A and B are shown apart, each in its own frame.
Chain A
Amino acid sequence: MKKYKEKLIEFFLKLTALVTILTTIGIIWVLLSESISFFKEVSILEFITDKQWTPLFARKHFGIMPLISGTILTTIIALCVSLPIGLTIAIYLSEYAHIKIKKTIKPLLEILAAVPTVVYGFFALMVVTPFLQNIIPGLAGFNSLSAGIVMGIMIIPFISSLSEDALSSVPRSLRDASYGMGATRLQTSFKVMVPAASSGIVVSVILAFSRAIGETMIVAIAAGQQPRLTLNPLVPVETITAYIVQVSLGDVAHGSLEYKTIFAAGITLFVFTFILNNISYWIRKKFREEYE
């Protein structure tokens, strides 16, 4: 009887795993087949080298570069904000803060990641952009700067929490050794703790990066919808995700070439995040071996 129950549970667990795997395979299948039929009409060379992305216009161009540059630009701005702040918080929490402070601040920070991104989007558009326009006169109403900054704020907890975990899991004995040599807290943090936790910190940054690349709402609302090959943070751009939203919500006919651009853009995004996730997986694996 008991054995029967065990078998049943095992069966359900297997089934759940199977459903998850099948769903993933299904998504990749659709993504692949639709983009293959896209690439039958548009050459990969054109896709990669053309400097314009205008599938919805009369003069159609299918160069993904403007979308990639928009994505990378907003992501880099986000990292410029979140990396220094997130790391500072992580070091403060693990090396300086009293345990009680740490226990209060960490969950509070994680709320940042739980705020609906549409709220962030409007915050960027309605608050940050007008504020920045006072300082930077040439700033357009839609721009990658405020979208990037706000996205950076959103991903702070990714970096601070995961890096803090990495710092805290460095053996206590290393900290003792450093203090015992007469090192200050600051020296101990930067000469011993951060290097010893570096792989964990790098993983946190990659995950934050991957989250920023895939972020949709904030950039769709605040960065604009104008594919543009530029690194100028003051003008409207369009990210891969924002483009997908734009077309999905629009009225292009299913099965048309315009429609298939979504999948071509989607698979590009997928390739990016797939590579990033693999790098972080690889680092984590290596890191684990190091400590054995």
Chain B
Amino acid sequence: MKIKLESKNVDVYYDKLKALSNINMIIPENAVTALIGPSGCGKSTFLRLFNRMNDYIDSFKLSGDVLIDGQNIYEKNILVDELRKNVGMVFQKPNPFPKSIFDNVAYGLKIQGIKDKEFLRKRVKDALVQAALWDEVKDDLNKSALSLSGGQQQRVCIARTLAVEPTILLMDEPTSALDPIATTKVEQLITSLKEKYTIVIVTHNMQQAGRISDYTSFFYMGDLIEFDKTDVIFTNPKQKQTENYITGRFG
């Protein structure tokens, strides 16, 4: 098992509010790691550390080290734009641009300055195939992405992220706005992607974490309570708190 992401002694503050305290955790390569825990426990904050999306929050303060492939990504010489090309993110609510499906998926490549039409078309197709959307939209790539259903929109967003070929995928409750059928599609997609990607997914759905993840970490009020293989967490957790949360006896 190769370590892809790592956090060492990470504390996060929003002004005076301590959102994460002393998080030490590793995330293995080519696996799906689920982050679970009650609302407000810091899952999104933790996830967004790895593509530095918290940087836009004025009150955000971080101490400790956040590593990708052993490199501290909060060092001064790190180019955030470059970092994010390697670390894709899928958000809770589908957020396609008000552009065509094609332009949405090609966006990341275009901002990298790629103009070659053939190349763009190929990458867009590959990404849509990977995102299990190609068959549904292949005749209509110039249609506005906003005219698609919520589940299709979310898959456009996933395709958009895949098109730039990152190695890490961060997903913050990617199926919470989707119906069961779309959810199943996205879950199958995640499982099929883990050969090539390191995936970290935040979810409130215990069954989902159980179905798709290899590792699970349980957060509670800014603390990392337990991190282990998913089957261990779900069948034989070491911490009482974890067990209570998973079995729904929480409160």
- Verify B93–A173 contact, CB threshold 8 A: yes
Q: Is A182 an interface residue (CB 8 A)?
A: yes
Q: Is A105 an interface residue (CB 8 A)?
A: no
- Set A183, A195, A196: member contacting B111, Cβ < 8 A: A183
Cα–Cα distance between A98 and B58 once the two chains are bound (Å): 9
Say yes or no: is B82 at the interface (Cβ < 8 Å to chain A): yes
Instruction: Please tell me which stretch of B94-102, B198-206, B229-237 contacts chain A, meaning at least 4 of its Cβ atoms lie within 8 angstroms of it.
Output: B94-102
Query: Cα distance A192–B91 when bound, in Å?
Result: 17
Give the Cβ gap from B47 to chain A, nearest Cβ, in Å: 11
Q: Which of B15-23, B126-134, B157-165, B181-189 contacts A (4 or more CB under 8 A)?
A: B157-165
Q: Mark B219-249, 1 if CB is under 8 A from A, else 0.
A: 0000000000000000000000000000000
B56 within 8 A of A: yes
Known interface pairs A173-B91, A192-B97, A195-B98; A179-B53 also in contact (CB < 8 Å): yes
The answer, yes or no, to whether A245 is at the interface (CB within 8 Å) is: no
- Complex Cα distance A171/B91, Å? 13
Contact of A182 among B97, B99, B108 (CB under 8 A): B108
| A-B CB pair tally, cutoff 8 Å | 65
Beta-carbon contact of A176 and B91 below 8 Å: yes
Chain B 70-92 per-residue mask, 1 if CB under 8 angstroms from chain A, else 0: 00000000000111110011010
A176–B53 CB distance below 8 A: yes
**Per-residue contact bits, chain A 173-205, to B (CB 8 Å; 1 contact, 0 not):** 110111111111001000110011000000000
Cβ of A99 and Cβ of B111 under 8 Å apart? no
Number of residues from B at the complex interface, CB < 8 A: 27
Residue of A nearest to B163 (CB): A181
- Cβ A182 vs Cβ B95 within 8 A: no
**With A174-B97, A177-B157, A290-B98: A191-B111 Cβ-Cβ less than 8 Å:** yes
Q: Which residues of A contact B51 (CB under 8 A)?
A: 180
The answer to the question of B107 belonging to the interface, with a C-beta cut-off of 8 Å to chain A, is: yes
CB distance from B185 to the nearest CB of A (A): 20
Chain A residues lying within 8 Å of B108, measured Cβ to Cβ, are 181-183
Taking the closest CB of chain A, its distance from the CB of B46, in whole angstroms, is: 16
Q: Which residue on B lies nearest to A183, using beta carbons? A: B111
Which residues from chain B contact A174 at a C-beta distance below 8 Å? 95, 97-98
Inter-subunit contact A182/B53 (CB<8 Å): no
- A246 and B90 CA atoms in complex are apart in Å by 64
Picked from A182, A196, A290, the residue with its CB within 8 Å of the CB of B164 is A182
Q: Which residue of A lies closest to B94 (CB)?
A: A173
Question: Is there an interface contact between B111 and A181, defined as CB atoms closer than 8 Å?
Answer: yes
Name the CB-closest residue of B to A186: B111
Beyond the given A176-B95, A180-B53, could you list 18 further A-B residue pairs with CB under 8 A, ordered by the A residue number? A173-B91, A173-B95, A174-B98, A176-B53, A178-B97, A178-B107, A179-B56, A180-B161, A181-B88, A181-B108, A181-B160, A181-B161, A182-B83, A182-B85, A182-B111, A182-B112, A184-B81, A191-B111
27 contacts between A and B (CB under 8 A): A98-B58, A99-B58, A173-B93, A174-B95, A174-B97, A174-B98, A176-B53, A177-B157, A179-B53, A179-B56, A180-B53, A180-B89, A181-B88, A181-B108, A181-B161, A181-B164, A182-B82, A182-B108, A182-B112, A183-B107, A183-B108, A183-B111, A184-B111, A191-B110, A192-B97, A195-B98, A196-B98
